[in-house]
């Protein structure tokens, strides 16, 4: 006979989950192993309370099934990024960015280029570890303080994590909140636009004293030459991302949009006669890993295999959520935390704090998207608030704030890449704490989307 699982038992299993995640990260392993330990703990606790194996396995399957679209999208994105690096799509974007933005204030340029590339790649860490490194190298030649530059790169990089159709976090948020991605992206522009404009002014102001005395920065010329000598640079190579953006705007599904981007990339590579079918398939599965060390330092990665870590974390997290949802372990805890909410502003604030706390405890973004996205939907609907606003709140807090938490895996990676402590670059990563503030203010002002 199935018995209700007490809050004390739930807290115990969650403690094991958090201990497993922290231990995994401390030992240098993926958070997947900690989440897997949490699944075992929750599974055993539920079994001891009368749930049989068949029921629990079905709960896990339903949890993963709810996110199968995200898993497919992640596979497609991995393939697309590898092909775009190899065929010259991303190098063309970088080349054009340096060509047309290099005469601007360089701190502002760093922010703009990072945000543009992150919107294409859909990954903050992918942008930061490639284009970000190149931008930091140029900035050093202008004697710009590293914390300021890293802050600009981080702010720009997380624009894509939150707002790109290619982002795993944005797609997962749409699935978990049962919303359409394009509707979320449009709604999120309301908070992003003022913050982005403020960031532009801030980085222009901070970088005004670090202008190059030369007409053109030699490091920029060197980087442009590296790109043009190793890749075919052409506006034609921008057709695949343009296809994806246009199809998303016209409300095609992400699967169809990405499929068109993928097919057009294949067609361009085959038509150019520069690549054999074997090379294309190798890049699609293994990724782009050039022998040239200089090229590899700014452009490397992608491929289906590059997404295995993300896919494992999403699959395990959704399986865990399936059991937590099916057994009713989490719902009472969340309802208790929201019980005293009196108005819309309080609900947005509590949701933001819940996302941030999950970020702090679990050290990754996935669960801070899944848990609020799954369990707060009925509460938002009861208050007459659209699920798009729930998705926006999760995106503006759970996704954006991770690089500000010193022990979060995102912050640790960024700090290791640039050798700059989190507490030094965090004050300059202003987009990452202005977006949560604006979201909360919007909640109290009533700037939300009504449920219909």
- Pair 47, 56: CB distance under 8 Å: yes
Which DSSP string do the residues of 344-359 spell out, in sequence order? HHHHHHHHHHHHHHHH
- pLDDT of the chain along its 452 residues, tens only? 667 888 888 889 989 988 888 888 788 788 889 889 999 999 999 999 889 999 999 999 998 987 788 888 888 888 988 999 899 888 888 888 777 766 678 899 899 989 988 998 888 887 887 788 778 877 776 778 999 999 999 999 999 999 998 888 899 999 999 999 999 999 999 999 999 999 999 999 999 887 655 556 677 788 888 888 999 888 899 899 888 878 877 778 878 888 998 999 999 998 887 888 899 999 999 999 998 888 887 788 888 998 888 888 888 888 988 898 888 888 787 777 777 788 889 999 999 999 998 888 776 788 889 889 988 998 898 888 999 999 999 999 999 999 998 877 788 778 877 888 888 999 999 999 999 999 999 999 988 888 76
> Phi and psi of 182, rounded to 5°?
-65, -35
The answer to whether the CB of 23 falls within 8 A of the CB of 34 is yes
24's tokens: 């995994």
The 3-state DSSP class for residue 288 equals strand
- CA 391, 393, 396, 402 torsion: positive or negative? negative
Sign, CA dihedral 30-32-38-44, equals: negative
Q: Is 439 left (phi over 0), alpha (psi -120 to 50) or beta?
A: alpha
């Amino acid at each position: 006979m199935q018995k209700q699982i007490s809050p004390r038992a739930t807290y115990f299993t969650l403690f094991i989950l958090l201990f497993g995640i922290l231990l995994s990260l401390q030992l240098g392993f993926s958070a997947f192993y900690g989440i897997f330990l949490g699944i075992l703990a929750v599974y055993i606790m539920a079994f001891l309370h009368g749930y049989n194996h068949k029921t629990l396995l079905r709960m896990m399957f339903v949890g993963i099934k709810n996110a199968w679209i995200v898993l497919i999208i992640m596979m497609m994105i991995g393939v697309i990024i590898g092909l775009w690096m190899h065929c010259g799509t991303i190098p063309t974007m970088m080349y054009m960015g340096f060509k047309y933005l290099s005469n601007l204030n360089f701190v502002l340029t760093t922010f703009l280029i990072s945000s543009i590339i992150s919107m294409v790649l859909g990954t903050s860490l992918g942008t930061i570890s490639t284009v970000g490194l190149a931008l930091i190298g140029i900035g050093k030649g202008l004697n710009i303080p590293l914390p300021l530059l890293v802050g600009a790169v981080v702010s720009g990089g997380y624009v894509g994590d939150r707002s790109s159709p290619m982002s795993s976090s944005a797609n997962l948020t749409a699935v978990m909140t049962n919303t359409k991605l394009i509707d979320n992206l449009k709604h999120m522009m309301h908070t992003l636009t003022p913050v982005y404009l403020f960031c532009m002014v801030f980085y222009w102001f901070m970088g005004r004293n670090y202008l190059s005395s030369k007409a053109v920065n030699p490091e920029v010329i060197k980087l442009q030459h590296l790109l043009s000598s190793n890749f075919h640079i052409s506006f034609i190579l921008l057709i695949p991302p343009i296809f994806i953006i246009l199809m998303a705007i016209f409300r095609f599904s992400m699967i169809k949009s990405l499929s068109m981007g993928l097919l057009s990339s294949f067609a361009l590579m085959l038509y150019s006669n520069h690549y054999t079918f074997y090379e294309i398939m190798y890049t699609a599965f293994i990724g782009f890993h050039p022998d040239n060390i200089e090229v590899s330092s700014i452009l490397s990665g992608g491929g289906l295999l590059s997404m295995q870590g993300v896919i494992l974390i999403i699959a395990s997290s959704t399986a865990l959520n399936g059991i937590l949802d099916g057994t009713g372990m989490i719902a009472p805890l969340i309802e208790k935390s929201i019980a005293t909410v009196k108005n819309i502003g309080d609900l947005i604030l509590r949701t933001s704090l819940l996302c941030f706390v999950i970020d702090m405890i679990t050290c990754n973004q996935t669960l801070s998207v899944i848990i609020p996205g799954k369990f707060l939907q009925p509460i938002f609907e009861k208050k007459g608030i659209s699920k798009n606003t729930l998705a926006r709140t999760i995106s503006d807090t759970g996704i954006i704030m991770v690089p500000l938490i010193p022990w979060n895996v995102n912050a640790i990676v960024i700090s290791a890449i640039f050798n700059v402590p989190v507490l030094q670059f965090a004050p300059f990563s202003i987009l990452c704490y202005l977006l949560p503030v604006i979201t909360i203010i919007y909640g109290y002002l009533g700037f939300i989307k009504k449920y219909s």
